[in-house]
């Protein structure tokens, strides 16, 4: 069975549609920003409206343009500090958050399991209250979404999901910014997911319809929570964006042999791309293993994986600015 996520565009804002392209900034008339995210938590994109997610993408494009292209210095987070809790190691999440927060004038503080044990040496409630007294926000990369929910409940500062077992919202923001830059519009794109039914797929499902995007997903019969189709070529058929992720997440190493067997036939190759749309592109949140996607696709001109990785920085900066300040983008509001 092939599952398509489609949205009925019942309001004028979605029916009119909005497109933008970061590279040349084809923009409409400047509009007063009515979205206010200051003080909010970012636990899952399910909790945000389409306009609120669009605002974070707009702010990402604004910061990227002003800092990277114009060379401006924007100390928007001067005097702010960020606690970074990492139960799981990461290259892109750590580097993008640390360098981005510092670039905006703030001070990031990295905490590993050697420094802090969530709910072990100290209760989650006590940890949340201590962090609230010393930092302005916390980004936590954890095993359990329930730990994030508890931190958010007990803390008086914004809690940001850097990854959990259920969701990875900051990765999806980077993916959407990358696709917006490439296609100049998200509305009407078909996303073809080929791989595990994991936190990335969950986050796409929580947000794609808010932009009028369609979703086709293939996952193997391996006990995942949502079964859409078992045929990778069926999922890829007509897709604009081919997406996959690691087959073996941290904490699943003991399942490696079983998972590699279950994912036989799921490698993204040019054979997969042949049934996709003529303008197909490829995304992978990294790190990548060759069995997930071959070199011909991964290093092809259609692959957007490295711009996607860079955009982790601009989108997390936008998240921090939107949750901690009253800043409004200076760039005219893009057309989505």
Sequential pLDDT tens for the chain (336 residues): 343 443 322 332 323 333 333 333 334 334 456 899 999 999 999 999 999 999 999 999 999 999 999 999 999 999 999 999 999 999 999 999 999 999 999 999 999 888 887 788 789 999 999 999 999 999 999 999 999 999 999 999 999 999 999 999 999 999 999 999 999 999 999 999 999 989 999 999 999 999 999 999 998 875 544 446 889 999 999 999 999 999 988 778 888 999 999 999 999 999 999 999 999 999 999 999 999 999 999 999 999 999 999 999 999 999 999 999 999 999 988 878
Q: In which order are the strands placed within the sheet that holds 190-194? A: 214-218, 190-194, 241-244, 281-284
Q: Which residues are catalytic?
A: 285
Angstrom CA distances, 15 to 148, 187, 191, stand at 35, 10, 20
Spatial neighbors of 206 by CB under 8 A, at least 6 apart, are: 44, 45, 46, 167, 169
**Predicted TM-score (pTM) of this structure:** 0.87
Q: Is 165 exposed, middle or buried (0-12, 13-18, 19+ CB in 10 A)?
A: middle
Query: Contact at 8 Å (CB) between 230 and 221?
Result: yes
Helices (H), the chain: 12-16, 50-63, 92-103, 124-134, 145-154, 169-183, 199-205, 232-236, 256-262, 270-274, 295-298, 305-324
pLDDT digits over 76-120, tens only?
999 999 999 999 999 999 999 999 999 999 999 999 888 887 788
pLDDT computed for residue 18 by the predictor: 35
Q: Give the bridge partners for 85, in sequence order.
A: 111, 140
**Spatial CA neighbour of 159 closest among 79, 277, 41, 314:** 41
**Spatial CA neighbour of 93 closest among 205, 268, 250:** 250
**Spatial CA neighbour of 196 closest among 164, 166, 229, 218:** 218
Spatial neighbors of 7 by CB under 8 A, at least 6 apart, are: 14, 209, 210, 212
What SS3 class is residue 112?
Answer: strand
């Amino acid at each position: 069975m092939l599952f398509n996520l489609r949205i009925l565009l019942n309001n004028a804002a979605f029916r009119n549609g909005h497109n933008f392209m970061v590279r040349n900034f084809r923009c409409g008339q400047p509009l007063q920003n009515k979205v206010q995210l200051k003080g909010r938590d970012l636990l899952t994109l399910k909790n945000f409206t389409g306009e609120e997610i669009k605002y974070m993408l707009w702010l990402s494009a604004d910061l990227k343009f002003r800092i990277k292209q114009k060379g401006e210095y924007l100390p928007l987070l001067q005097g702010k500090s960020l606690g970074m809790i990492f139960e799981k190691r990461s290259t892109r999440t750590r580097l993008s958050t640390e360098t981005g927060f510092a670039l905006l004038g703030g001070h990031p503080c990295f905490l590993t399991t050697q420094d802090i044990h969530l709910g072990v040496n100290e209760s989650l409630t006590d940890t949340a209250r201590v962090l609230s007294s010393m930092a302005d926000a916390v980004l936590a990369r954890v095993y359990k979404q329930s730990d994030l929910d508890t931190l958010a409940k007990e803390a008086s500062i914004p809690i940001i999901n850097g990854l959990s077992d259920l969701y990875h919202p900051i990765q999806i923001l980077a993916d959407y910014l990358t696709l917006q830059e490439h296609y100049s519009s998200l509305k009407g794109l078909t996303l073809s997911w080929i791989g595990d039914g994991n936190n990335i797929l969950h986050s796409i499902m929580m947000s794609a319809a808010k932009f009028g995007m369609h979703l086709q997903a293939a996952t193997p019969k391996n006990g995942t929570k949502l079964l859409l189709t078992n045929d990778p070529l069926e999922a890829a058929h007509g897709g604009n964006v081919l997406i996959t992720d690691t087959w073996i997440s941290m904490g699943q190493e003991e399942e490696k042999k079983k998972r590699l067997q279950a994912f036989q036939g799921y490698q993204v190759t040019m054979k997969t791309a042949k049934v996709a749309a003529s303008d197909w592109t490829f995304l992978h949140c990294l790190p990548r293993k060759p069995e997930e996607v071959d070199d011909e696709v991964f290093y092809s001109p259609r692959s957007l994986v490295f711009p996607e990785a860079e955009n982790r920085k601009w989108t997390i900066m936008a998240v921090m600015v939107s949750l901690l300040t009253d800043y409004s983008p200076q760039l005219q509001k893009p057309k989505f």
